[in-house]
Amino acid sequence: QFSGTLDINRQDEIGQLAQSFQRMTERLSENDRMRKEFISDVSHDFQTPLLNIKGFAELLVDEELSPDKRSSYAKVIQSETERLSSLTKQLLLLTSLDQLESPLRRRAFRLDEQVKEIVRKFRWLLEEKQLSLSMELDEVEFTGDPSFLEKVWENLLSNALKYTQSNGEIDIRLTSKLDTVEVRIRDTGMGIAEEHLSRLFDRFYRVDHSRTREIEGTGLGLSIVHQVVQLHKGSVKVESEEGVGTTFIVTLSNL
């Protein structure tokens, strides 16, 4: 019978076993820490809009309100509900990506058509912000999960639009290479300072400077991008300069 602690510095098999137990324990507590952090972030993100909804609903009950006030309070409730709804959608998407077994349903489809379709969805915003758009898309037949990949282009493009001021430029390129495809989404927006780049794909991470604070977001978009790309065995890179613009480059293998 064995009692006492295993010496992880031992050079024999027992030592190796002790080391691998040690690594397992570290990984488990890291998972545990991340799960706790995740739950606390989620709760916080739900709490703020809920408090706003509650507060403004209470104000609405007052019968003496002017029509103007009434409608402005109702608008807050509407937009906060919208926020909760998009947060829930993103969380559900992230959970579906977290399954042990790959959630991907692969099939062959035209990647260029898909990108064009997403751009079409954002036409109104491009016009509203008077952004100019250039696009160069190779015709590509790609095998992957179209419904998850759609979210990748949607999130990257919606960020490019969100974080670029009026009259800026957006450039989208899809290039077919030997056995990979590359999608580049470049904007001339506010850019991201270097110190944020390493955490950009973390869940809930948002660059918090005066200009982004009033731009709506959950900090989940890029973590979804990262996870979907990883499940496709691809990679995503970002190049950015503050005040100049940002380029996201997604590379996927197409064998």
Site for ligand ADP in 147-176 (CB under 6 A): 155, 159-160, 163
How large is the angle between the packed helices 221-231 and 67-97, nearest 10 degrees?
Answer: 20
Count of residues that bind ligand ADP according to CB under 6 A:
22
Site for ligand ADP in 169-208 (CB under 6 A): 187, 189-192, 200, 205-207
Whether 228 contacts 97, CB under 8 Å: yes
- Side chain identity at residue 157, one-letter code: L
Task: Find the shortest distance in angstroms from Cβ 153 to ligand ADP.
Answer: 13
Helix (H) or strand (E) holding 201: none
Task: Find the shortest distance in angstroms from Cβ 131 to ligand ADP.
Answer: 12
Instruction: Work out the end-to-end distance of the chain between its first and last CA atoms, rounded to an integer number of angstroms.
Output: 54
Closer residue to ligand ADP in complex, CB, 227/254: 227
Structure-block tokens of residue 8: 């992880």
Reading phi first (left if > 0) and then psi (alpha if -120 to 50, else beta), residue 51 is in alpha
- Residue 93 interacting with ligand ADP (CB under 6 A): no
Task: Find the shortest distance in angstroms from Cβ 225 to ligand ADP.
Answer: 7
Structure-block tokens of residue 164: 């670029």
Closer residue to ligand ADP in complex, CB, 140/161: 161
Question: Where does this chain bind ligand ADP (CB under 6 A)?
Answer: 155, 159-160, 163, 187, 189-192, 200, 205-207, 212, 217-223, 246
